[in-house]
């Protein structure tokens, strides 16, 4: 059926549509309306698309601007580093991370995070190598050394990151700066130590080659983070000094009794007393709680904030002892350093690494010892043979003897203090990359093998931003009875540069004629002679004259007390904040 337009009824009102608000459409009036509505939809769609495109374009431009700004910040921050391209590329390798950076501190935090990832890769690489067959005994030992050093590095980087998060609210800025720098210096030292274990045989070098690239990358990333921290903190310290807040904060750290404000009342009483009550006693004859030192250490509490005292009764303890990082605030107290002896004979010639040869190795923070002898009896023909290795922050030794030949005392890393101790050895017999001060110590060269020379120190600083070095203050440098008769035919030097930026300072010390007139020895050719820092200040004795000392660019005779003051225990190892807690005598100034 079909309907025509004429058949549709109309309202009685001329030309009007029916009531009720509903229009009645004909074919003729439907068409323009549909076109109109379609046009509206099309326009709305076009506007919507245009708005979305505009918004997207705006977001894109803002994102690009943010990325460019963050990249500029990263590039600027990395410009102060020794390896700027590595610094920049590692941080921007995670675009979302790079785009979120707005301050120099955030750039450093990002750098630390990327370094942690790189260290974890090294850890897994070492683990894979350990399970391989056909490894020599020393290679296996060296790989385990690497695992230990990598593990230490992870802890040090994480602690650095946590300290950065609260910077600069924690203590004075200068103290925080030294904390951050020593942690990263230790992390860098660990990388060198890892590779050092593969330096003895041709077979070792093959494993070294596999690890070298990744380990060097970690080392250089740590170096970059250290440089940026130095750049940031140096500026902040300068501003702090101008405002005068530094001195006030330092005063607040120390109580009226001269001890740090954070030290407990019980520990103050303990340290103020002339005797120390032990928690346990070690006696080889069975009269104590333990027969061996190692057993007492194993049973000691972990991560203790309170001093835990192990008395070691007179006797000779033939064992190798390790104080791991979980054993904090341990104290060894001997009856007498001449009669309380811990001795071993591990050495490189018989297959050990230098790192693992130590008779006693200390890593746990806050370790202190007194009245004990640490000894390695391997002898002058066995190469590196360590009596004591120390990688413990805030560690101190009083009335202790360290006796060996080559590499006697390995001051590996972090902050250390030696007071009224005896150190005896031949080649490089005080070596490592700690920030360490010796006061009132006797440092004696002994007779080496024929054809060998004695080097008292071999300091291992390899980056100009590391706050490490060996300081010998108010000590006595001489010879043992077996060297004295032949001292004119055996060359003895104050030190030689183990690493590129080796730093050693001898001040206000009596130097006997056992030390040759040139004073210092090169390592190999011209290596490090321009970049090292070797200095002497107000020394005395037959071997103290500087008139014929080496003419290296890196050597100097200090004439200014203010320059020498940088190397006092108060400044160089921040002794004002921790040495009182040891209970040992010390001098903070010149």
Q: Which residues does the annotation mark as catalytic?
A: 407, 428
Cβ within 8 Å of residue 85, ≥6 positions away: none
d(C-alpha 341, C-alpha 154), whole Å: 34
Contact 471, 572 (CB under 8 A): yes
In whole angstroms, give the CA distance from residue 424 to residue 408.
7
| Structural contact between residues 301 and 308, judged by C-beta atoms closer than 8 angstroms | yes
Q: 190: which 2 tokens? A: 């660990």
Strand partners, 459: 432
Residues 6 or more apart whose CB falls under 8 angstroms from that of 42 comprise none
Helix (H, G, I), strand (E, B) or coil at 550: coil
Contacts from 297-304 at CB under 8 Å and sequence distance 24+?
297/321, 297/322, 297/323, 297/327, 297/330, 300/327, 300/330, 301/327, 302/326, 302/327, 302/328, 303/328, 304/328, 304/329, 304/330
* Cα angle for residues 224, 555, 565 (degrees, 5° grid): 75
Three-state SS sequence of 475-498: CEEEECCCCHHHCCCCCEEEECCC
Give dist(CA 160, CA 109) in Å, integer: 9
Please give the full DSSP string across 327-384, using - where no structure is assigned: S-SEEEEES-TTTEEEEE---TTTT--TGGG-SEEE-STT-EEES-EEEE---TTS--
Is residue 405 classed exposed, middle or buried when 0-12, 13-18 and 19+ CB atoms within 10 A define those classes?
A: buried
The SS3 of residue 184 is helix
Q: Which of 282, 279, 119, 129 lies closest to 206 in space, CA to CA?
A: 129
Distances (CA, A) of 126 to 138, 339, 510, 583: 14, 42, 46, 41
Using the CB atoms, write b or e for 428-438: b if 16+ within 10 Å. bbbbbbbbbbb
Interior CA angle at 144 toward 141 and 150, to 5°? 145
Alpha-carbon distances, residue 563 vs 206, 236, 557, 567 (angstroms): 45, 21, 11, 8
Pairing of strands 388-390, 360-362: parallel
Q: Are 369 and 342 in contact (CB under 8 A)?
A: no
Judge whether 476 and 441 are in contact, CB under 8 Å.
yes
Q: Is the dihedral of CA 299, 286, 308, 345 positive or negative?
A: negative
């Amino acid at each position: 059926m079909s309907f025509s337009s004429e058949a549709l009824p109309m309202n009685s009102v001329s030309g009007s549509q029916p009531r009720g608000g509903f229009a009645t459409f004909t074919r003729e009036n439907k068409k323009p309306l549909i076109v109109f509505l379609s046009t509206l939809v099309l326009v709305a769609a076009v506007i919507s698309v245009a708005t979305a495109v505009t918004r997207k374009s705006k977001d894109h431009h803002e994102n690009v601007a943010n990325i460019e700004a963050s990249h500029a910040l990263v590039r600027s921050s990395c410009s102060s580093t020794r390896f700027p391209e590595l610094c920049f590329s590692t941080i921007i390798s995670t675009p979302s991370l790079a785009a979120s950076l707005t301050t120099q501190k955030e750039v450093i935090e990002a750098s630390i995070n990327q370094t942690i990832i790189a260290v974890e890769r090294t850890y897994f690489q070492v683990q894979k190598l350990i399970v391989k067959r056909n490894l020599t005994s020393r290679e296996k030992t060296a790989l385990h050394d690497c695992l230990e050093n990598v593990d230490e590095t992870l802890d040090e980087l994480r602690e650095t990151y946590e300290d950065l998060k609260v910077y600069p609210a924690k203590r004075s800025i200068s103290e925080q700066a030294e904390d951050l720098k020593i942690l990263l210096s230790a992390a860098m030292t660990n990388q060198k130590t890892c590779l050092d274990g593969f330096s003895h045989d041709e077979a070792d070098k093959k494993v070294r080659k596999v690890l070298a690239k990744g380990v060097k990358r970690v080392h250089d990333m740590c170096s970059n983070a250290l440089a940026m921290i130095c750049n940031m903190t140096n500026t902040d310290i300068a501003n702090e000094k101008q405002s005068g807040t530094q001195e006030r904060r330092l005063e607040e750290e120390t109580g009226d009794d001269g001890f740090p404000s954070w030290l407990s009342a019980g520990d103050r009483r303990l340290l103020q007393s002339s005797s120390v009550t032990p928690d346990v006693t070690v006696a080889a004859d069975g009269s104590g709680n333990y027969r061996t030192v190692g057993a007492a250490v194993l049973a000691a509490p972990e991560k203790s904030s309170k001093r835990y005292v192990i008395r070691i009764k007179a006797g000779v303890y033939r064992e190798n002892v390790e104080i791991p990082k979980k054993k904090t605030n341990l104290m060894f107290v001997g009856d007498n350093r001449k009669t309380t002896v811990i001795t071993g004979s591990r050495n490189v010639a018989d297959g050990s690494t230098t790192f693992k040869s130590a008779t006693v190795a200390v890593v746990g923070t806050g370790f202190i010892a007194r009245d004990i002898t640490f000894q390695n009896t391997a002898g002058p023909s066995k190469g590196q043979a360590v009596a004591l290795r120390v990688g413990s922050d805030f560690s101190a030794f009083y009335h202790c003897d360290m006796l060996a030949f080559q590499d006697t005392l390995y001051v590996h890393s972090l902050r250390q203090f030696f007071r009224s101790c005896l150190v005896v050895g031949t080649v490089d017999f005080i070596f490592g990359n700690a920030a360490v001060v010796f006061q009132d110590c006797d440092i004696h060269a002994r007779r080496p093998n024929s054809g060998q020379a004695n080097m008292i120190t071999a300091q291992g600083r390899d980056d100009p931003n590391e706050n490490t070095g060996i300081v010998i203050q108010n000590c006595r440098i001489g010879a043992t009875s077996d060297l004295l008769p032949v001292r004119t035919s055996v060359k003895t030097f104050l030190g030689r540069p183990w690493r590129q930026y080796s730093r050693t300072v001898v001040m206000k010390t009596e130097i006997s004629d056992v030390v040759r007139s040139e004073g210092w020895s090169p390592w190999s050719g011209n290596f490090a002679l321009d970049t090292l820092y070797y200095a002497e200040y107000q020394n005395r004795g037959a071997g103290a004259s500087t008139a014929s000392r080496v003419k290296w660019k890196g050597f100097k005779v200090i004439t200014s007390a203010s320059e020498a003051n940088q190397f006092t225990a108060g400044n160089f190892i921040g002794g004002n904040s921790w040495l009182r807690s040891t209970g040992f005598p010390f001098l903070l100034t010149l």
